[in-house]
């Protein structure tokens, strides 16, 4: 079970570090709203456990980021809106950030950067000079390099989120996603991600694709 109090504290620290001098309103209601979203019943992989993992990976990669606290806020918002049957989750999550963060005291430029980062998670293909985008995308995809047991839990969670899709259609759709990921020149963009995660992730993706093809 995720430690919700610890997560609230992590949100508060990131927001207070990123927002304008003089602060703003109490971060707690914003954290609680986001945590309620991350605990919605349709989620089986995109849960507070995924949020916690992404935040942990951002901590691991923060030395590569230009503004680690903005990346942390983007992690909080990147799947804040998540309905498996809808295709515009990232866009709706970015718009949520654009509404909530100025009210919470974040400067406009940083709000725009959070929203840009959230939208970047559609394709996970940041530019070579996009340090913050590389950190967020690597943190989000780090699950692909998980050990076999954790990777199996991840794929089971994804399948459960799409329980309303017939098995053959899910198999075809998931296979297309795997091929798209394997077709990227690289899955990970930070030096740490390339060294520690790339080979294992490609092995996991290829193994899953092979299993779906049999």
Considering the entire predicted model, what is its pTM? Answer: 0.95
**Are 161 and 46 in contact, with CB atoms under 8 Å apart?**
yes
Residues 29-57, mean pLDDT to the nearest whole number: 97
- What is the domain count for the chain? 1
Answer whether residue 206 shows pLDDT above 60. Answer: yes
pLDDT tens digit string along 83-94? 998 889 999 999
pLDDT of residue 146: 97
The token pair at 57 is 């990976």
Q: Is the dihedral of CA 134, 103, 31, 14 positive or negative?
A: positive
CATH number of domain containing 10: 1.10.3210
Write the CB contacts of 29 (distance below 8 Å, at least 6 apart in sequence).
Answer: none
Q: What is the domain range of residue 39? A: 4-212
pLDDT of residue 212: 93
């Amino acid at each position: 079970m995720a430690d919700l109090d610890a997560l609230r504290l992590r949100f508060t620290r990131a927001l207070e570090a990123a927002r304008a001098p003089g602060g703003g309103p109490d971060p707690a209601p914003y954290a609680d709203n986001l945590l309620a979203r991350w605990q919605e019943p349709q989620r089986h992989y995109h849960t507070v456990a995924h949020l916690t993992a992404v935040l942990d990976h951002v901590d691991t990669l923060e030395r590569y980021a230009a503004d680690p606290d903005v990346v942390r806020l983007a992690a909080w918002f990147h799947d804040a809106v998540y309905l498996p049957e809808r295709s515009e989750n990232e866009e709706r999550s970015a718009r949520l950030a654009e509404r909530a963060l100025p009210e919470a005291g974040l400067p406009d430029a940083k709000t725009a950067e959070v929203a840009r980062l959230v939208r970047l998670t559609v394709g996970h293909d940041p530019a070579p000079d996009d340090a913050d985008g590389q950190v967020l995308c690597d943190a989000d995809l780090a699950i692909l390099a998980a050990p076999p047991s954790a990777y199996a839990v991840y794929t089971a969670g994804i399948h459960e989120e799409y329980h309303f899709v017939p098995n053959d259609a899910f198999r075809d759709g998931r296979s297309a996603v795997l091929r798209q990921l394997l077709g990227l020149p690289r899955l990970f963009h930070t030096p740490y991600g390339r060294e520690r995660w790339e080979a294992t992730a490609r092995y996991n993706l290829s193994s899953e694709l092979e299993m779906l093809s049999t």
